[in-house]
Each structure stands twice: as structure tokens, then as C-alpha cells.
Amino acid sequence: MQRERFVIATNNAGKLCELQELLSEFGISSISMTAAGISLNPEESGATFEENAYIKAKSVCLATGMPAIADDSGLVVDALSGAPGVHSARYGGEELTDAQRYMYLLRQMETVPEEERGAKFVSVLCCVFPNGNHILARGECFGHILFEPDGTGGFGYDPVFAEATTGRSFGRLTPAEKGKISHRGRALVVLREKLAQYFAHLERIAEESL
């Protein structure tokens, strides 16, 4: 299915590592922005995950002339009316570490009972091509917010999110275990299907023009 190498449009080391590992499992070759020779930090001014993923992928595609894949993801908490949502990476302040950020989240939920701690992780992947075409793929993973961190694996809010089907914290899962059930893993399944359809469409157009 693979036709081109993609640049992953992220400055988040944890997300880069996870995306490269997941993409490779689907036979998709990718490089970092550093390897592509660029340093960008596009303003995520969109109101949705879809808008922000497109902004990032388009910026990197224009800068490199290569197809770019961007992920915009976040934690959506029922008791916080959907927060932190698209602001997940900046929730509580730009300067916070991952641990400080999820502890800030837990403080906001100190009085929320267990039955009202529902949440989901959302990932939207956007692939933008030099010809202007783009593909969007969305994945969601449901669970609940723990009362305290559990595990040290993953990144971001992983240690305080327990996935619904396993009951285990993302911070306790191996990368392979997480990849099978995570929001990003599910979005990648959709993206792979859409990429296959996209390349097949291009091939049909090329054949018809002969």
C-alpha cells in the first residue's frame, strides 16, 4: 500500500515515538521533522481536533514538499464538560510537565464520585499531500479517570486514564498493548484504509489517462 514516505508533524517526543511505531506496523514509512530538516511549531488555533490536525499537517507539508501526517489528540472528561479537550497539551498552563498536568486534572476532580468520572481519549490523524489533498481519520477510546496515578508508562495523561475494556491504566500497558486499543491505534486503522483507497483512486486515474 505504501507509496511515499511521510513526515510526522509533531514536536512531542512521546507522540513521535508512538506514531512511528504504529505507522511501521501498518507498513507506512515515516521520518521526524528533524530528519526532514525543519523546525516548526504551528499555532493550534482550531476549535476541533480535526482543524488542529489539518493545520499542523498542512504547515509541515508546505515546508517540506512531502506528505505529512499530524495527530491532534486529547482527553475529554465528562465531569469537566469536555475539558481539557483540544487544550489538553496546555491544560493548567504551558509550563507544566506531564505529571504536573495530570495532577492538576486530578485536583479539578477531587469531589467527583467514581460513577461520574467517565472520559475518553480522542485522536484525529490528518494526512496532507503536496497536491492539496488531505485525509482525516478519527479514533476514540473510552474509560474513566482514576483517583490517583497508576503506572509510569506512556505519556501525557496515560497514568490517570483507565481503559474501559481492560480496566487498566494506560500507564500500565506496554506500547504494543496500548496500540491495539488506544484512540491513536484506532485512528490509524481508519487512516490505513483511507490511504489504501486514496492510492487506488490515484492509480485508476493514472491508468485512465494512458
pLDDT in tens, 18-43: 888 877 877 788 899 999 999 888 88
Report the CATH number of the 6-208 domain. 3.90.950.10
Please state, rounded to an integer, the average pLDDT across all residues of the chain: 91
Q: What percent of the chain has pLDDT over 90?
A: 66
| Tens digits of residue pLDDT in 123-148 | 999 999 999 999 999 999 999 999 99
Residue carrying the nine cell digits 480496566 = 167
Angle between helices 13-25 and 183-208 (to 10 degrees): 50
Query: So which residues are the catalytic ones?
Result: 72
Q: Domain residue spans in the chain?
A: 6-208
CB neighbour list of residue 156: distance below 8 Å, 6 or more residues apart: 14, 75, 88, 89, 98, 101, 102
**Residue 3's pLDDT is what?**
56
- CB of 58 within 8 A of CB of 129? no
